[in-house]
């Protein structure tokens, strides 16, 4: 699979939010509802954005910022900046090049990427895109647990052979949320878009009369801490858990050998009325201490959001829907442009806050009326 011809950036795009209208025009209504919808009343979806807006920066002035930079350490490597692309399924719904375009853009901009298990492009092609760029960030593979250990073992081996450097187990979505917007739109995957890295068929539910399809059928197959232990025993790759919202769960992940967690409410797509990621992050950081790796996603739109996340204790952030908007609007060029805009905004925010490096970012950068 090769990339399409370079597409121009739409006129008037000055920030990540500007891609949204162009993306909506490029996608059909059903796919748009799937990508942008949240669970139930979409309270958490909206809160993810408003929570970052509500946090205020308190800049310091007249500091010597010469030689400043956005570099950060992450799991033994140094990143050019603390932005990774979050795992988002079926990106060929947004653009014919799908995840391959996102991969080339991320690699070119020094960003990391977490490839969804439900990617619509082969994992090997994505890995090759990263391998071709020596300055790329980390490439991780996201997993949903499937209750077929033979299949899971084959998948883990394939992921390692392809060159991915970490596993990310999503733990907050054993079932789909009640996504009303998606259901109203009547979304169904088109025939030419599928999860190409997930072969085989799921086992049919074996239910007795009166049993619940959810509690008696699906939940016995869902991942527990035992499956975390199994993944640790059957892969050499570092393991992170995505979708952790409680400090006790983060501590348990650490105890069982995970190398980090991603604070996430699944972009507001699973359980509605979960707190915003920006509100969850400082509590988890306080709960696990300074040495455990903690990333965050949900509602990131601006460079100031990235700086706030770092000040609240994140080691890095994951960018979600906005990069798929950029993908729909302008393919690989759009995603690369979105990442560059976000990094430029981060540098501006750091400079105007008196923050020379992200190692200096901390709660002192954030305004509190109680001080």
The pLDDT value given to residue 59:
98
Do 274 and 42 meet the contact criterion of CB atoms below 8 Å apart? no
Mean pLDDT, residues 44-56:
98
Asked if the model's pLDDT at residue 53 lies above 70, the reply is yes
The predicted-structure confidence for 227-254, as pLDDT tens digits, reads as follows 999 999 999 999 999 999 999 999 999 9
Asked if the model's pLDDT at residue 333 lies above 90, the reply is yes
pLDDT confidence band for 207 (50 / 70 / 90): confident
Name the residue ranges covered by the structural domains of the chain: 16-188+222-356
Mean pLDDT, residues 11-17:
98
Do 264 and 296 meet the contact criterion of CB atoms below 8 Å apart? yes
The predicted-structure confidence for 65-79, as pLDDT tens digits, reads as follows 999 999 999 999 999
The pLDDT value given to residue 343:
98
Do 93 and 27 meet the contact criterion of CB atoms below 8 Å apart? yes
The pLDDT value given to residue 208:
81
C-alpha–C-alpha distance, residues 236 and 348, integer Å: 39
C-alpha–C-alpha distance, residues 68 and 252, integer Å: 36
Mean pLDDT, residues 264-276:
98
Residue 188, SS3 per DSSP: coil
pLDDT confidence band for 89 (50 / 70 / 90): very high
Beta bridge mates, 242:
170, 262
C-alpha–C-alpha distance, residues 15 and 262, integer Å: 25
The pLDDT value given to residue 200:
62
Beta bridge mates, 112:
84
Asked if the model's pLDDT at residue 218 lies above 90, the reply is no
For the domain bounded by 16-188+222-356, which CATH number is listed? Answer: 3.20.20.70
Asked if the model's pLDDT at residue 371 lies above 60, the reply is no
The pLDDT value given to residue 211:
86
Asked if the model's pLDDT at residue 143 lies above 80, the reply is yes
C-alpha–C-alpha distance, residues 336 and 256, integer Å: 37
Catalytic residue among 22, 266, 333, 337: 266
pLDDT above 90 as % of the chain: 90
Q: Dihedrals φ, ψ of 90, to 5°?
A: 50, 55
pLDDT confidence band for 201 (50 / 70 / 90): low
Centre a 10 Å sphere on the Cβ of residue 40 and count the other Cβ atoms it contains. Answer: 17
88: its two tokens: 């988002």
The pLDDT value given to residue 219:
82
The pLDDT value given to residue 199:
80
Is 266 part of the annotated catalytic residue set? Answer: yes
Rounded to the nearest 10 degrees, what angle do helices 43-54 and 303-311 cross at?
Answer: 80
Mean pLDDT, residues 182-210:
88
The pLDDT value given to residue 369:
67
The pLDDT value given to residue 205:
78
- Of 23-37, 52-66, 186-200, 248-262, the one with minimum mean pLDDT is 186-200
Q: Where are the alpha helices (DSSP H) in 109-172?
A: 123-131, 149-162
How is residue 275 annotated by DSSP?
Answer: P
The pLDDT value given to residue 179:
97
Mean pLDDT, residues 169-193:
96
Consecutive H or E run containing 113 = strand 112-115
Average pLDDT, the chain: 96
For CA atoms 338, 342, 344, 348, the dihedral sign is: positive
Q: Dihedrals φ, ψ of 260, to 5°?
A: 180, 175
- Of 113-117, 165-169, 211-215, the one with minimum mean pLDDT is 211-215
Asked if the model's pLDDT at residue 301 lies above 90, the reply is yes
CA neighbor of 125 nearest in space, from 150, 85, 148, 158: 158
- Of 45-54, 204-213, 245-254, the one with minimum mean pLDDT is 204-213
pLDDT above 70 as % of the chain: 99
């Amino acid at each position: 699979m090769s990339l399409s011809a370079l597409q121009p950036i739409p006129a008037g795009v000055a920030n990540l939010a500007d891609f949204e209208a162009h993306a909506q025009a490029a996608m059909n209504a059903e796919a748009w509802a799937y990508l942008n919808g949240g669970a139930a009343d979409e309270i958490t979806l909206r809160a993810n954005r408003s929570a970052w807006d509500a946090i205020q920066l308190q800049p310091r002035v007249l500091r010597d910022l010469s030689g400043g930079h956005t570099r950060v350490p992450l799991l033994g490597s140094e990143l050019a900046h603390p932005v990774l692309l979050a795992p988002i399924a079926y990106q060929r719904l947004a653009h014919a090049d799908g995840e391959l375009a996102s991969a080339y853009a991320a690699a070119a901009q020094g960003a990391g990427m977490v490839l969804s298990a439900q990617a619509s492009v082969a994992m090997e092609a994505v890995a090759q895109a990263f391998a071709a760029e020596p300055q790329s960030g980390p490439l991780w593979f996201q997993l949903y647990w499937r209750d077929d250990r033979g299949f899971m073992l084959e998948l883990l081996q394939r992921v390692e052979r392809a060159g991915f450097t970490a596993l990310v187990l999503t733990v907050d979505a054993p079932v789909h949320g009640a996504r009303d917007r998606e259901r109203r739109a009547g979304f169904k995957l088109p025939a030419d878009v599928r999860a190409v890295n997930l072969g085989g068929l799921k086992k049919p539910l074996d239910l007795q009369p009166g049993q619940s399809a959810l509690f008696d059928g699906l939940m016995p197959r869902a991942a527990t801490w035992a499956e975390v232990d199994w993944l640790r025993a059957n892969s050499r790759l570092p393991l992170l858990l995505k979708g952790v919202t409680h400090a006790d769960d983060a501590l348990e992940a650490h105890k069982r050998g995970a190398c980090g967690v991603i604070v996430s409410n699944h972009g507001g797509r699973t359980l509605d009325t979960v707190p915003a990621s920006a509100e969850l992050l400082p509590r988890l950081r306080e709960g696990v201490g300074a040495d455990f790796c903690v990333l965050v996603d949900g509602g990131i739109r601006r460079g100031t959001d990235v700086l706030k996340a770092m000040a609240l204790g994140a080691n890095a952030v994951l960018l979600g829907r906005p990069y798929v908007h950029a993908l729909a609007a302008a393919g690989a060029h759009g995603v690369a442009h979105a990442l560059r805009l976000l990094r430029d905004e981060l540098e501006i925010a750091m400079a105007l806050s008196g923050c020379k490096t992200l190692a200096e970012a901390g709660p002192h950068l954030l305004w509190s009326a109680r001080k």
